[in-house]
Structure 1
Amino acid sequence: MEKFFLCTHIPIKAFNFDGTLIHSVGYNGDLDEIFLNNDIYEKTTHEIFNKKNNPVVTISCFDNIHFTACYICPNNINRGIFIIGPYTSNKVNPTGILYKPKCCIPHLISLLDDIAKSSNYVKRKQNINNMPYSLYVKKALDYIDARHSEPITLEDISKYLNINKCYFCSILKKETGKTFSQTLNEIRVYHSKRLLLETNLSILDIALSVGFNNQNYYSIVFKKLTNKTPVEFRNSERDEY
């Protein structure tokens, strides 16, 4: 998102599937007011989630000001959405909103996709997708990764995959060598590492934000997987990171 804004100067927001703001770039008080007063999130999500065959939607408001929404991951709506804008299709406008003709928008979506594909996170996901896992296991790993901060259960996964939970446990163990709990904990610890290195959040806040119920259990799992406590990891890796 930061790179996209540097390339285009168009503000951009990312929202989780449940409406939680993930990140925002290029916004100020006036632009946020336009976004909120015109119910942009509600309108774009209504359009995009009810028209699943159309992965890109554009909402227009006053003075030909537009916002365009697309899925963060075209293959998994659980990842949430990007909302690009505001921009205007009027070359001359009194609002000072950035001019972008509508014909440019498909190219901007492609640019956003290209930037995402070059990220370490997507490369990691591509490595998973290239592994010899069945479609069920790949979809399960993607679902867990997208919703790792939630209290995910085996019932949630089996319902999402529309298969028996015992069958899912057996194929997950057979293909990855790990149980559902081990898989979930590894993904949560993976995401917590970024928060340890990039933020000053407390260990408790990090534990809760990635889906652990309490700090002690998070620390035990983290130590088991990395041979370091979260504090030790933060102190030893931060300077190098």
Structure 2
Amino acid sequence: MDFITSTLNDFYHCCKVPVKAISYEFDEIYKIGYNKNFEILFPLNDISNLVHNEHDCLNHNIKVSKNIYYRIIHISKLNRYKGFFVLGPISTQKCNKNNNSIPYLPLECFDYCAHLLLRIATDKFNRAIDSKSFNPYIKKAIEYVHNHYDQNINITDLCEYLNLNKSYFCSTFKTATGHTFCHFLNYFRVEKSKKLLLETDLNILDIAIAVGFNNQNYYSTTFKRFTGKTPFQYRSCNKH
């Protein structure tokens, strides 16, 4: 069972909310909990048009008719070209006679479902990374990021530390992980910064510096690229 199928099955068994995965080219990959009526409500063509014309629709609730909502989320935080998860439909009205097959869910709970789906996907991705038999140099590079992410890291210095040719390292890292080293490093730093955003009152600049970014604007831009929100928006939406 592949990553996407396993993620969607686990999510559906937890929440009973219909969900599908589609590629970046808007071909269907896998779905669970769906029926033909759901496809009519929010067909692939509508999803494609919405994503292409309104990028802000990602990670937000999408109202397709009275009381009926969907949500679109990137499959991968690291690589937006992996495609999208489409959650829904859900109905925010109980006992809707015309749509009795659509699960009822308060809109605020739909947000929690979206977070759960991402958490399941992230956990499965991390376990897959941990279980891979990486080249020893790649393992050492990942360990280096884990231990020194809050410091200035550049590929040249890292390759000197590993005693590797820079071109060879970049090529090998991309082949092993599916991502460039800089992409991986920025993702790791953004994930570390989320905890500081939610559990401390540090300002955005201090958080950026604490996780290794030396520029607040670059940190904010990078954070939004991975999450769809600025650090301030993420803190406002999730801190209680």
TM score, norm. by length of structure 1: 0.50
Report 1 or 2 for greater relative contact order, CA contacts < 8 Å, sequence distance ≥ 6: 2
